[in-house]
Chain A
């Protein structure tokens, strides 16, 4: 066997040096061997979320770093403005689904790689879908999408999905059990700037723990737009946010509709002329209305590569991991820095969960009302699951009808008469004066019941 291995040139000639040789600056459980390389190649499944600027680079990088079983999910179609950096796409591909073309192109060029594309929204997948992957790599461009995936990954921390007999998966020090940690690697870019971070739910801060890193978007005061515009952006947003509705009643403004955009531009230009304000151009109008973020190939390449390296390290322990947040800025010289952020022990998403104490007589409906009023949660339109079972679902109509009768039943009974347990609630909450969807973990304890199962001790066998 050794002979043939030596005479046949290895495709993974370079990667082999990292995975087959022992080292000292490596992870604690590093087991260098051909087996390790083969396990990564044959068994490790990684999900790439997003097939745009970061996603294309991630798929290539992961495939050429030994990962041959990838999935990619993206709901968008290819546009001309993608072509300056999303190198898997050509002019002929415009209009086709990004996930599908990306998967196809990488598989064409790198033999042995299998990539399953998913042309849909991340919310369209069952939570179980995400649990199938060893690591999730994010190449997203919105805070909301990141929040969603973060919620999903963190929900695996203390849930027991197909096994009602299992105990809660925290040990006595409130440390999450390792098998339930779903690692994520998250990248983001904007012009010459970017970040790459490693999220190990329960260990490192999750996305929610450091949500303060993302400042709220600037909104112009209404009176400025309406009465004292001074800049081109004011004129544009007036046309976009105020004049459009006045003139078009029920029709929603569609930023991808060139006629809608032209209308806004014309109105903005008129207003600008009226007030003597310079600077309204069609390009600028698009930028303001669509909140276009400038993007180039190089920054995406850097950040995706950093994410891939960390993914490889998490999967194999072939080197030390980044702890835990890398920022990069290439506009003025070159600045990279790794900061070690700390978890928020009370994080609503990756923490043990908000504690709610109720009477055994409280009905599910009453419980949902409590969630609305709870100062930390303020959750409306709640859908509730307990150990994988739907207690009440707001949608789709079929499920709503099926679970409606649970509303009048006591929560205590619906939760199998456990004295305390974890439930997950999907709903709407307020953030920066906007209603956003969220997933929250709650620890429910029932007053006056002697516990058979104790939430504070580790699972038995």
Chain B
């Protein structure tokens, strides 16, 4: 087992052993293995996904040799699903690869229970009507669904599932949890034990800024009725007081303190985002609740009681100029408080589990710990069903996108990708698919687009003629570079969904390969 781990070193540094384990446990179904689907799956196979099943009813044609790396000369005439799955197997022999030679539309119609066995389904190159049916099936079976499509120089990616909760959202930039505006007893005592006016210049410039700020904030509060600096003038005055304490220009700890003083001015308590999650109706838990919401219920109680309005302490501190000894002591104080908060949370979680009739040990310690550390960064993602979005999109948003210069091509692509499906339903081929009929296709596509816009309640909205023309020019071509890009994005979302780390995208991602002004549409 040591060998596979080295291979995955560069990605383990992103999602760790747990993330990797989640990938290796999952089973993925791919519908249609043209380049879009094949490229999506290739990235996941390289990353060590557990098992894959490739579903495609078509045979490899000569034209496929020009856009799909996963088929070659010897594949012509054979089942595309078979060829793609065997090449993928070659890419990573620890993945279990299977194929089903069947058109996805047929499976959707006649064997919906087929999809229940999978963790996640990647549906590529499906038309509107199939998307809606598949979406219903997967929601029913609680299977994660992600759509991806390439169409000429355009494409889209759309996740569909009822709810996806994230504990380890790992945001790139997030304020540290130092509680400079609300220090607890042990932190205050530690700060009290240090004398800012120490004579030795080396000691003076190695007092960590956390201590400096806790002490100075305390001094300020004592002479301002218990309040911290809030107005502009007060904040400036506070910084000046810090400056006045410097005995020489090279005192980095004081410079850091001045730079970090905004942390003293910041309001106490939790963010609006977290508040929204706590207020969500799902936090009223019952025996069917997911472990995430049980933890949120415990968090709610913690904040209201022992936390005094604050979430459990995160526990780590950033590096700062300091003597080693003081830094380590400070570090231990934060770790101790985080541990104490965790123990309280643990009790709350166990008692809530008991209350709702579940085994009080059903949520592991490690999960509760991770939840505490990440409490301020929780994310809940919800996705509208495809049917809902297609039948009743958010009209004001749609209008806004249509009139905004930056997003007008992207929303035009969104509408046209649905219009081409309606065209295909009427004429049995996509506009421009065959060289012969392109002249008639353009006005037909235009009228399909207009009628769609009207169905959606956007009468009078206009789509650029040039764009409609382009869609006809594309003739439903699946270009490799576009497929690789759309597939790359889809595979990345799959990784986030399965590892439950980082935040998956919301809405529909429209890829605009014409001028690269791609856009996320929330409809």
Residues of chain A touching chain B, judged by Cβ–Cβ distance below 8 Å, are 9-15, 17-18, 21-25, 57, 60-61, 64-65, 80-81, 83-85, 87, 90, 108-111, 191-192, 224, 228-231, 275-277, 283, 287, 292-302, 304-306, 308-309, 312, 319-323, 326, 329-334, 336, 338
Contact = CB atoms under 8 A, between A and B. Distances in A.
B contact residues, range:
35 or more
A191 B14 contact: yes
Contacts of A24: 465-466, 469-470
Given A25-B470, A295-B10, A298-B495, A275 B328 contact: yes
Interface string B308-334: 000000000001111110011000000
Contact of A230 (B153, B170, B319, B473): B319
Given A25-B466, A331-B170, A275 B514 contact: no
A21 B473 contact: yes
A322 B516 CA distance: 6
A23 B481 contact: no
In the A-B complex, the 7 residue pairs with the smallest Cβ-Cβ separation, listed nearest first, are A13-B63, A301-B488, A305-B485, A302-B488, A64-B480, A334-B505, A305-B484
A298 B492 contact: yes
B382 interface: no
Contacts of A297: 42-43, 46-47, 488, 491
Given A25-B467, A330-B505, 15 more contacts: A15-B477, A17-B473, A17-B477, A18-B153, A61-B484, A84-B10, A110-B65, A293-B10, A294-B13, A295-B10, A301-B484, A305-B484, A321-B515, A331-B171, A332-B169
B273 to A, nearest CB: 13
A321 B516 CA distance: 8
B1 interface: no
A56 B515 CA distance: 25
A122 B63 CA distance: 36
A14 B47 CA distance: 29
Contacts of B480: 14, 60-61, 64-65
Given A17-B432, A18-B474, A84-B7, A338 B515 contact: yes
Given A11-B65, A331-B172, A295 B502 contact: no
A18 B477 contact: yes
Given A23-B469, A305-B484, A87 B14 contact: no
Contacts of A312: 481
26 contacts: A9-B62, A11-B62, A17-B473, A18-B152, A23-B473, A25-B466, A25-B514, A84-B11, A87-B91, A110-B65, A287-B13, A292-B10, A296-B10, A296-B495, A298-B488, A298-B489, A302-B484, A312-B481, A323-B515, A330-B492, A331-B170, A331-B171, A331-B503, A332-B503, A333-B504, A333-B506
Interface in B33-81: 35, 39, 42-43, 46-48, 61-63, 65-69, 72-73
B518 to A, nearest CB: 5
Contacts of A85: 10-11, 46
A282 to B, nearest CB: 11
Contacts of A338: 515-517
Interface in B492-511: 492-493, 495-496, 502-506, 509
B192 interface: no
B104 interface: no
Interface in B130-173: 152-153, 169-172
B299 interface: no
A308 B514 contact: no
A229 B520 contact: no
A305 B516 CA distance: 12
Nearest to A330: B492
Contacts of B327: 228, 230
Contacts, number: 239
Interface of B: 3, 6-11, 13-14, 35, 39, 42-43, 46-48, 61-63, 65-69, 72-73, 90-91, 152-153, 169-172, 206, 319-324, 327-328, 432, 438, 465-467, 469-470, 473-475, 477-482, 484-485, 487-489, 491-493, 495-496, 502-506, 509, 513-518, 520
Given A298-B43, A309-B482, A336 B518 contact: yes
Nearest to A194: B488
B7 A81 contact: yes
Contacts of A283: 9, 13
A24 B372 CA distance: 56
A91 to B, nearest CB: 8
Contact of A228 (B65, B206, B474, B518): B206
Contacts of B516: 306, 322, 326, 336, 338
Contacts of B13: 283, 287, 292, 294
Residue among B481, B484, B502 having the largest count of chain A Cβ atoms under 10 Å:
B481
B238 to A, nearest CB: 26
Residue among B35, B69, B465, B518 having the largest count of chain A Cβ atoms under 10 Å:
B69
Contact of A301 (B3, B8, B39, B502): B39
